[in-house]
Structure 1
């Protein structure tokens, strides 16, 4: 599959590099459309950075939040933070009619989102595994999911993301610009089928399977305890409180899966359709930023569903964390 900014539109006018005969032609976009695109994309980038930074500060600062599960959330927030800080601004550059930063920077740009987005997805898989063990095997959870083991898996997650990304873009890194048809475009080539399977189908399948198992077990446990307590006290309100956290975890994971599918499905639908992805076209910018928008929605989900996050954000915003022993 080739991804880039190919020329050939009928509304093209001047050249990117007038002094070169091999220069690409500029894609002329209406001024209002360009301004609106810049404002929206910049706002999403800033919001993604801000929300994930709040998660990073919350988990890093407060000792009470130093748990294996929150360590996975911290790793996820770091990946999403890098997407907002580095990937989205570079994507805004790619909306320009021409690429002026050279072939090597072009390949490195694609390498960066590949690493960060894959790390984000892998962290979501690890979080689903963590919730699966916590709900389906709660007695052995403290011995199975320890802080040290989670740290090892987080490191392996990032190492795999880097290794996979370099392997996927190896031909492009070996000879940058080899797939460009003219001077002034940014085009790369990679195996789209492998990317869809390893980057999308396999991770989301694991997450969905584990989520369904978590949900079924949580519901069955809640019903079993409800029947037991009802037989003794003739009420079931106690059971609801006992399993409230487990059900909330299941709902959180379900929302994460739904958001992930909503954000990534349009991009992979375009990929599977066989159409060439023109990076500067408005439709491509939309599907790419929709995929990146998943990194903005992840902390929003935690903000709405986790009381500890809302409380820590309040302490951060009011600067109470600057006080001694905060």
Structure 2
């Protein structure tokens, strides 16, 4: 399930255009780490259990296996930490974030996450190959046996990123609630521009400003200002609701990871700090159980996405049915719109000229010369016949 579920996540982010954003790129990289846990780490751990924790493979593979275990576990927490930081920056400073938020920038951030994870795990094979006592207990059980590295590595790879993740997630929820309260109190979009989530609204305002005449009439300005004061920013409120839903899903992922991995790392720290005062055999048994609880976390994330995200759920359903093509909607024919009041109770003659590059013109009766619609060049069948006259009755 761990391998198959994460492969579905990788396929969904790769093939579904709706999932092409920075957060989902991080989730795809996280899925790669979780998939590699199921592919390279869990089978060897299961093999060790079958041999009663006596390492059955060549001894030089022991530090390599421990290094991979630390690498992918560290990568998981680092990805979640990076996601929480990236989302907080995007919500707190959306305009600045949008300038530097591209696919290339997301890949660079993911590369930094993997570089940190590799930096934490690389010393293990170096230490283990030099001194086997650092990776073997009783000369038989393959486990990291360097107290200093266990202590420092646990803080660097888990507790520090976890603290950052919790703080940024709480700040994200605070900002979202603050924005929602400001909207409910009747603030205009201009007052929310500094913390607005809806970048599309910002773009629409800029476009509208460009389309305004250079010297608008004073009456138009007065009406426009009144509309701004009366207008409720529904688009921004919808964006806040969307961010809340996304934060809820990510919050569940964070919480699951916290519940699954905290017992292992807390026990790992206690086994070093208490030393001989603790029952080492009990600690070893607890660590063997808790590490498998952490491994299970790698297979839970795809289930979370399936339960709470419609795009992932639909994509997974299609892939399981061997349908790898994105659903394409039929093209919608756009018809020119005319105000109903302009045509009410009147007839409109429509003359369509064939075999000409000039756009066709639809004009009303002579009594109403002001009603006119411009239609773009029409593709008509090749038939050099006379002009077709249509009469459209009242709308």
* TM value normalised by structure 2: 0.64
Q: Distance in 1 between matches of 2:58 and 2:133?
A: 8
The equivalences for 1:117-136 within 5 A come to 117-136=73-92
Residue in structure 2 matching 1:256, options 242, 248, 253: 253
2:301 matched to 1:310? no
Tell me: CA distance 1:88–1:324, structure 2 relative to 1, closer, same or farther (3 Å).
same
Residue in structure 1 matching 2:287, options 267, 284, 287: 284
Aligned-pair CA distance for 1:156: 2.0
Aligned-pair CA distance for 1:56: 0.5
Alignment: residue pair count: 279
Q: Name whichever of 193-202 and 242-251 sits farther off.
A: 242-251
Q: Does the 8 A contact of 2:253 with 2:304 survive in 1? A: yes
Structure exhibiting the larger radius of gyration computed from Cα positions: 2
Q: Name whichever of 238-247 and 277-286 sits farther off.
A: 277-286
Q: Which residue in 2 is equivalent to 1:90?
A: 44
Residue in structure 1 matching 2:24, options 70, 79, 95: 70
Query: Cα deviations across residues 274-299 of structure 1 (Å, max 9, x unaligned)?
Result: 25776996543320111112212222
The equivalences for 1:131-210 within 5 A come to 131-176=87-132, 180=136, 182=138, 184-190=140-146, 191-210=149-168
Q: Distance in 1 between matches of 2:162 and 2:128?
A: 27
The equivalences for 1:106-117 within 5 A come to 106-117=62-73
Higher helix share: 1
Q: Distance in 2 between matches of 1:305 and 1:318?
A: 20
Q: Which residue in 1 is equivalent to 2:57?
A: 101
Q: Distance in 2 between matches of 1:301 and 1:209?
A: 22
Q: Name whichever of 158-167 and 198-207 sits farther off.
A: 158-167
Q: Distance in 1 between matches of 2:294 and 2:154?
A: 13
Aligned-pair CA distance for 1:323: 7.9
Tell me: CA distance 1:49–1:315, structure 2 relative to 1, closer, same or farther (3 Å).
same
Query: Cα deviations across residues 289-325 of structure 1 (Å, max 9, x unaligned)?
Result: 1111221222222222222111111211122215898
Q: Distance in 1 between matches of 2:242 and 2:259?
A: 26
* TM value normalised by structure 1: 0.76
Which 5+ residue runs of structure 1 have no aligned equivalent? 1-46
Higher relative contact order (CA 8 A, sep 6+): 1
Tell me: CA distance 1:176–1:313, structure 2 relative to 1, closer, same or farther (3 Å).
same
RMSD: 2.9
Q: Distance in 2 between matches of 1:55 and 1:193?
A: 33
Residue in structure 2 matching 1:228, options 186, 210, 223: 186
Residue in structure 2 matching 1:321, options 321, 324, 327: 324
Q: Distance in 2 between matches of 1:301 and 1:265?
A: 19
